[in-house]
Structure 1
């Protein structure tokens, strides 16, 4: 067990208001959006310690042992390589939401041998959602992206996600 740092990212951090540059491709844009969630120690301030990142998941509120904050504190990111947990205050913290998910080939299970082209509309289902949500599906090499029309809870990435295309369930994405 290796002691690690817990870093708080303020909700008004410039991370969440960075101006979107121009991109050469859709893949470049999606990778940029994903990279916006790669927090560093310098994006916030240390608020505590933990006994192992494997004990935490995105959206977790309990067991952080952080007190004296105005609002509840939630895990918004986990950096296994640097052994850091990133947290944000309040259930509406922007770090708890995203409009893009990325999956690698190991996380994808095809239910049917349906060829899905890039930039197609899919319906996304998850036990975290009350209703299905609309997204666009993209595949670039071994990476699969879902770009949502609206912000969705980041905690969704902890659960199985189903995709429907042309009214058929075609893919299951796992964490």
Structure 2
């Protein structure tokens, strides 16, 4: 188990660079320090706090990434660790599903929506960006533990417009 320090991150500041903002950081063994052991990286999910069996830190540790091939779990201190937070996410075009085709927006246009990445999560303000090769969701506020393989759903008022699998 490797702890990544909060000082590891650099501000991008470029709100129009959706590919960069939606990309999950990939860590290396040398990016942090060893703080514990585990029985397999595949047992952990991004955002997980329980079951890490590591103490002695000022703030609780959260899983910020896993590398199943190398069997490494990367953790960070505190629920506001930069490794947990992102404003944007990406969905592959083939994984976008519209409930109503008449509300589908063409590539290059945008739509203000309310979106969520978790069941029963309060809806969050966001803008959707369909592109040629991908579909992006840019949230007004950073979201915690955006996890590949989970779903994002977007709404207008109470109506579900569509969903997609997060990359």
TM range (shorter): 0.7 to 0.9
Deviations 1:69-89 (A, max 9, x none): 222110012233443221111
- Tell me, yes or no, if the aligned pair for 1:127 and 1:159 is still in contact at 8 Å: no
Q: Does 1:127 align with 2:127?
A: no
Distance 1:20 1:51, change over 3 A: same
Q: TM-score, normalised by structure 1?
A: 0.75
Q: Secondary structure at 2:46's aligned position in 1?
A: coil
Distance 1:109 1:82, change over 3 A: farther
Deviation at 1:65, TM superposition (A): 2.1
Q: Does 1:163 align with 2:165?
A: no
Q: Secondary structure at 1:12's aligned position in 2?
A: helix
Higher helix share: 1
Alignment gaps of 5+ in structure 2: none
Q: Secondary structure at 2:52's aligned position in 1?
A: coil
Structure-to-structure mapping, 1:10-159, within 5 angstroms? 10-13=5-8, 15=9, 17-20=10-13, 26=16, 29-35=17-23, 37-105=25-93, 107-113=95-101, 114-117=103-106, 118-125=109-116, 126-127=118-119, 129-130=121-122, 132-155=123-146
**Matched residues in 2 for 1:82 and 1:165: separation?**
42
Paired residues, what number? Answer: 162
Deviations 1:36-65 (A, max 9, x none): 622222322222233322211111111222
Q: TM-score, normalised by structure 2?
A: 0.78
- Tell me, yes or no, if the aligned pair for 1:57 and 1:158 is still in contact at 8 Å: no
